[in-house]
């Protein structure tokens, strides 16, 4: 069972009531939403949240999402709301392309390998390590 007190990051795809209503289950978490969604909330709480009860209790500090957060790439996806976002889980982050400093590593081949893997249009890639 997950100890919700240990959750440190909660990311909202958008701020409708059915996506934020349980925010208070995470007392030790930082909360993130897109800048556009935060702007909508500040301009029109009622129209952004769409539920009076949640609107009344949703009084937390929201942090603006950057281009990525942890291993997740943030993809702006306006439509449902103008600040909606989706996430792309990258098995290698933009900063890390996989560890290639081991005795049998082939760092010169890593880039081509990653591009070849993308040709498979993967739905899920489970890397051998978390780096
Ligand atoms: Zn919605």
Nearest-angstrom CA–CA distance, 48 and 55: 9
Nearest-angstrom CA–CA distance, 118 and 43: 41
Q: Which residues pair with 125 in a beta bridge?
A: none
Q: Does 63 score more than 60 pLDDT?
A: yes
Tens-digit pLDDT profile for residues 69-85? 987 889 999 999 999 99
pTM comes to 0.74
Mean pLDDT score of the chain: 88
In the chain, at which residue ranges do the beta strands (DSSP E only) sit? 9-11, 30-33, 62-64, 68-69, 72-76, 85-89
How many Å lie between the centroid of ligand 1 and the Cα of residue 80? 6
Nearest-angstrom CA–CA distance, 77 and 65: 13
How many Å lie between the centroid of ligand 1 and the Cα of residue 18? 7
């Amino acid at each position: 069972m997950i100890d919700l007190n240990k959750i440190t990051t909660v990311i909202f795809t958008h701020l409708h009531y059915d996506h934020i209503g349980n925010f208070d289950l995470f007392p030790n978490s930082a909360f993130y939403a897109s800048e556009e969604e935060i702007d909508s909330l500040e301009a029109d709480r009622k129209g952004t949240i769409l539920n009076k009860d949640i609107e009344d209790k949703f009084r937390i500090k929201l942090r603006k999402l950057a281009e990525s957060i942890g291993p997740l790439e943030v993809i702006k996806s306006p439509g449902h709301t103008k600040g909606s976002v989706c996430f792309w889980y990258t098995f290698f982050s933009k900063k890390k392309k996989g560890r290639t400093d081991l005795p049998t590593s082939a760092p010169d081949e890593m880039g081509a390998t990653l591009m070849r893997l993308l040709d498979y249009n993967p739905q899920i890639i489970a890397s051998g390590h978390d780096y």
